Amino acid sequence: MTIPFKTIRSRAEKRKGGAKALQALLPPKPEAKALARLGDDRALAEMTRRVFSAGFAWSVIEAKWAGFEQAFLKFEPGRLSLEPDEFWDALIKDARIVRNGAKIMSVRANASFVREVAKEHGSFGKWLAKWPSSDQIGLLELLAKRGSRLGGNTGQMLLRFLGWDGFVTSKDVVACLRDSGLDVAEAITSKRDLAKVQAQFNAWAEETGLPYTHLSRICGMSIGENYGTDTLARFVDGEA
């Protein structure tokens, strides 16, 4: 039996200086309409940003991002899908980007993935906008299966940065879940634990009416190191 979310929120409010201070740290509520308007090029761009950021210094990727946009033809899935092998081989030597061969080739595969989804649903954003937050684990499984290098935490971060309403199983969020009484491992990797996490967030969403993104952020800020406002801002929705 887990504790009610109001207990977790109360703890977060005390740590952050009150209800108003905590509210100010939360991102805007995700909007399905805005997600539905997302261009397929921006969806592929964010996939690429998350794939290259995984296990790498985000600051380096951000500093080179203008080069990424140029090298990958502004991430237009149709154009990239038509490029020959020589185009992709040349990118491995392109100093405008981080020259990781496997990650570069993931862009090629993900361009096809985005095109396929857009053909089926009108656009990648429209497809995402219709997927319910109550089945995030189903969406993550699909991203891992049909996309390239979009499994695990990368998939979760992709959804968050695209503006889809979901949770992130960061270290602090998992600590909060465990502290609340949920029987899961310290690192969420198994389907069994993911299902438990999903069920808990579903229950908290029903209890509070809050978006999953806010539930996740509040949960993360209720425990662990009490980061200051500046540090939280640098996380850009990533850790809490």
Full DSSP string of 180-208: TT----SS--SHHHHHHHHHHHHHHHHHH
Which residue's structure tokens are 């891992």? 144
CA distance 148 to 145: 8
* Residue-level pLDDT at 240: 39
pLDDT tens for 33-59 read 999 999 999 999 999 999 999 999 999
Helices 5-16, 212-221: inter-axial angle, 10-degree rounding: 60
DSSP 37: T
DSSP 225: S
Going along the chain from its start, the domains and CATH numbers come out as 5-27+167-237 (no CATH), 33-162 (1.10.340.30)
How far is the CA of 239 from the CAs of 152, 153, 166, in angstroms?
A: 14, 11, 13
pLDDT of residue 236 exceeding 50, the answer is no
Please report which confidence band the pLDDT of residue 239 belongs to, taking 50, 70 and 90 as the band edges.
Answer: very low
DSSP 92: T
Average pLDDT of the segment spanning 12-31:
96
* Residue-level pLDDT at 229: 59
Please report which confidence band the pLDDT of residue 19 belongs to, taking 50, 70 and 90 as the band edges.
Answer: very high
pTM value is: 0.92
Please report which confidence band the pLDDT of residue 230 belongs to, taking 50, 70 and 90 as the band edges.
Answer: low
Instruction: Please give the structure tokens belonging to residue 113.
Output: 């993935």
* Residue-level pLDDT at 228: 67
- 79: buried, middle or exposed (CB in 10 Å: 19+, 13-18, 0-12)? middle
* Residue-level pLDDT at 227: 72
pLDDT of residue 139 exceeding 80, the answer is yes
Cβ–Cβ < 8 Å for 135, 110:
no
Please report which confidence band the pLDDT of residue 2 belongs to, taking 50, 70 and 90 as the band edges.
Answer: confident
* Residue-level pLDDT at 65: 98
Mean residue pLDDT of the chain comes to 94
Instruction: Please give the structure tokens belonging to residue 12.
Output: 């977060």
pLDDT of residue 206 exceeding 70, the answer is yes
Those residues with Cβ within 8 angstroms of residue 229's Cβ, 6 or more apart along the chain or in another chain: 25
Cβ–Cβ < 8 Å for 22, 16:
yes
Please report which confidence band the pLDDT of residue 232 belongs to, taking 50, 70 and 90 as the band edges.
Answer: low
pLDDT tens for 73-125 read 999 999 999 999 999 999 999 999 999 999 999 999 999 999 999 999 999 99
Instruction: Please give the structure tokens belonging to residue 117.
Output: 């989804």
* Residue-level pLDDT at 237: 43
Range in 72-86, 147-161, 193-207, 215-229 the model is least confident about:
215-229
CA distance 97 to 107: 12
Percent of the chain with pLDDT over 70: 94
